[in-house]
Amino acid sequence: MTVALVAAGQLSVAAAIPVMLGANIGTSVTNSIVALGHFNNKDEFKRAFTGAMVLDYFNIIAAIIFIIIEIYTRLLSWSATGLTNALVGVGVIELFDPLDFIVDPIVNFIVGVNQDTGWIVLIVAFILLYTALRGLVKALRAILNDDLEEKVKKYLFGSWWQAMLFELVITVAVQSSSITTSVIVPIIALGVVVAMTSLPYFLGANIGTSTTALIAAMSLAADGNPEGVASLTVAWVHMVFDLYAIALVYPIKYTRRLPVWLAEKSADFVTAGRVSVIGYIAALFYLLPFGAIWLTQDWQVAEFYEPVVLPEVEHLQQASSDDAQTQKPDASTNETSSNSE
């Protein structure tokens, strides 16, 4: 969606970069919701919640590090601009999305009956999610014998690069990291793998979802128009952020352990009954972000940050800024004339 907003000229590259980093954190909330399916079993829930929060904390740590690096060095936007310059005009084949093929007809039918059915879609979605989770856990319990567990550990989690590469390919194919990462949470809950072992798998999902956005942006920038070039720049920011984060955080033992340790402490805190798990998720993913937005609502991104962009993107953003400035006097003039009448 961020790439589409930039392509439509509704969001500047400077504003889109922190939005993209935030989206990386927000998309992993699904894992925490999936962990709720094990709430009735304390041991399973503790393992599930730990596994679910590993990616959240990795993304939060990486976002904090790289937003500071980007503000002072422009590393992300500089890298993304260089890659964009090399690939402008290179078209790609649009990938087939199996989820849209299955889900879109159902959603279109519900919306077609009545346009004001958003709440119905939301209720149906939660019911289907809960039913699917219950069914998935039961199915995994039924099929996970000792032999299958050993095969999962050997072929899927035999090494960090196996897990990362497998998840990358699956995420690109399905075009939804929320689905592919959610599937592994019940496996962690059942004790087949531990949170530390699953971290490379989750990181592969990060790269996979940024690959999907990159492919979409390359299609938009195939003819070299400024809007498409801007969207491709943002998509490359997403990709280089994920790659740099893995290169910086994962190889070092202590930084690699930090998100796992934070996830374990969060699981201990929640399962000890000190706070509602739903309240914890709401506070971390909704209350804190909205609170930060409210406190900084008067801040202007341009006051403290200007990314490196290609000349055509800079001209596009300057034109958008000029248009906004010309509209303000018009609005005030109209207001003055209406008051005089």
Q: What is the C-alpha separation between 191 and 47, in angstroms, rounded?
A: 7
CA dihedral sign of residues 237, 238, 239, 244: positive
pLDDT for residue 93: 46
Q: Positive or negative CA dihedral for 41, 43, 44, 48?
A: positive
- What are the residue boundaries of the structural domains of the chain, listed by start? 2-95+144-321
Amino acid present at 105: P
116 is written with which tokens? Answer: 């004001």
Q: What is the pLDDT of residue 320?
A: 56
Tell me which residue of 85, 50, 33, 58 sits closest to 269, measured CA to CA: 50
Residues 325-330, mean pLDDT to the nearest whole number: 54
Residues in the chain: 341
Residue whose pair of structure tokens reads 């900084």 in the numeric block: 296
Helices 226-249 and 75-87 meet at what angle, rounded to 10?
A: 130
Q: Are 2 and 16 in contact (CB under 8 A)?
A: yes
How many Å apart are CA 91 and CA 69, to the nearest integer? 31
Apex 182 CA angle, 179 and 187, nearest 5: 135
Q: pLDDT above 90 covers what percent of the chain?
A: 18
Residue-wise pLDDT tens digits, 124-156: 777 777 677 667 667 766 666 666 777 778 878
Contact 167, 204 (CB under 8 A): yes
pLDDT of residue 315: 60
pTM over 0.95: no
> Nearest-CA neighbor of 258 among 187, 194, 195, 180?
195
Confidence of residue 117 (pLDDT cuts 50, 70, 90): low
Q: What is the predicted pLDDT for the residue at 299?
A: 67
Does the pLDDT of residue 254 top 70, yes or no? yes
Round the average pLDDT of the chain to a whole number and report it. Answer: 78
First to last CA, the chain: 43
Kindly give the residue spans of alpha helices, DSSP state H, lying in 175-275.
177-189, 195-220, 226-249, 253-271
Instruction: Give the tens place of pLDDT for each residue, 42-94.
Output: 898 999 999 999 999 999 999 999 989 988 888 998 998 888 887 765 555 45
Q: Using CA of residue 43, residue 44, residue 50, residue 56, what is the dihedral sign?
A: negative
At 286, is the pLDDT very low, low, confident or very high (cuts 50, 70, 90)?
confident
Could you give the CA distance from residue 165 to residue 171 in angstroms, rounded to a whole number? 10
Compute the distance between CA of residue 59 and CA of residue 62 in angstroms, rounded to an integer.
Answer: 5
What are phi and psi for residue 18, nearest 5 degrees? -65, -30
Of 136, 115, 122, nearest in space to 189 by CA: 136
Instruction: List the one residue out of 85, 127, 102, 76 whose CA is nearest residue 247.
Output: 76
Amino acid at residue number 58: F
Confidence of residue 261 (pLDDT cuts 50, 70, 90): very high
pLDDT at 303: 53
pLDDT at 51: 92
